[in-house]
Copies of this chain bind each other. A is one copy, B any other.
Amino acid sequence: MKVTILGCYSATPRTFTNPTSQVLEINNHIFLIDCGEGTQVELRRNKIRFSRINHIFISHLHGDHFYGLVGLVSTFRMLNRENPLHIYGPEGIKEAITLQLKLSNSWTDYPLHFHELTSEDSQVVFEDDKVIVSTIPLQHRIYCNGFLFQEKLGDRKLLMSKVLNYDIDKVYYKSIKKGKDVILDDGRIIPNSELTDDPAPAKSYAFCSDTKYDEEKIPLIQDVTTLYHESTFLESHKYLCDKTGHSTAIEAAKIAKKANVKNLILGHYSTRYGNIELFKEEAQTVFENVEIGDDGKVFKY
């Protein structure tokens, strides 16, 4: 699992910082999460192949999370994209994008599917045999969802040294990897546990931006491998959280601790701060395993 931060600052794009966007690579999928202005340039800068992006998840319709989307959709057209593109985001996102395409008389030649979200409860928005993606309802000034990406457990690992002790036809390997016992020709039963090892543990990633401190989401993100949680403010500006619908670094850390996550990445820093390392210092007073998200940083798990 690999997370590439394209941008993780709040409010407006600046000369050296970008608004929210990140790329998650998980179980052979590549997902784009949020798409602030300039995202397509950051994709190029981070050498993410545009053609690999088939699913884009938008948390909410504040500009710093989606003003780059229409440009990316347009660029896909100019690159002669043929694959369908799926966009998941709040109700209204379809109208915003299609109105601008209509005004420029530039309809996409590829299939463009909008999956508009309105539910206040968590719901599955994407699922295949490798990954399941569900929403994490967040408490912000406008309708907003985080997203939980969960690998599905792979097959059990064949222990070939054990398998070769018996005369087992290769056609049974697939069922053994699925957990089946083996019945030999002489009637003996070889338990699956003797022939296989557990699959690699399923990894999971929770993206939570933007949100005020809210413990209701904790059951949804319990035990995830990595939590990205917004931390717009340091403690010195905690009084702004309620009005703006944002969190402090310490609040992000409290959520990480209560949810027993393995890793916490911080981001969505207010542009008023010069030294973002302070966010890590404050968060680590509550939760040890904290990383500072920053534009261009890559995290592997």
Contacts and interface: CB of A to CB of B under 8 A. Distances in A.
Pick from A63, A93, A95 the residue with the most CB of B within 10 Å: A63
Interface in A63-80: 63, 67-68, 70-71, 74-75, 78
Interface in A43-85: 44-45, 61-63, 67-68, 70-71, 74-75, 78
Contact of A41 (B15, B40, B44, B105): B15
A206 to B, nearest CB: 24
Given A12-B40, A38-B13, A44-B14, A70 B75 contact: no
Contact of A68 (B37, B44, B75, B100): B37
A68 B41 CA distance: 13
A99 interface: yes
Given A100-B96, A103-B92, A105-B141, A74 B12 contact: yes
Interface string A12-53: 111100000000000000000000011011001100000000
Nearest to A92: B103
A2 to B, nearest CB: 21
B71 A67 contact: yes
Contact of A63 (B15, B37, B38, B74): B74
B96 A63 contact: no
Given A13-B41, A74-B12, A96 B105 contact: no
Contacts of A106: 62-63
A30 B92 CA distance: 35
A240 interface: no
A236 interface: no
A164 to B, nearest CB: 53
Given A40-B13, A44-B15, A71-B37, A99 B95 contact: yes
A275 interface: no
A159 interface: no
A103 B15 contact: no
Nearest to A76: B12
A145 B12 CA distance: 29
Interface string A89-101: 0101101100110
A104 interface: yes
Interface string A103-128: 11110000000000000000000000
A11 interface: yes
B62 A41 contact: no
A136 B49 CA distance: 40
Given A63-B74, A96-B100, A104-B142, 14 more contacts: A11-B78, A12-B40, A12-B75, A13-B41, A14-B44, A61-B100, A63-B71, A63-B100, A67-B67, A67-B70, A67-B71, A67-B74, A95-B99, A96-B103
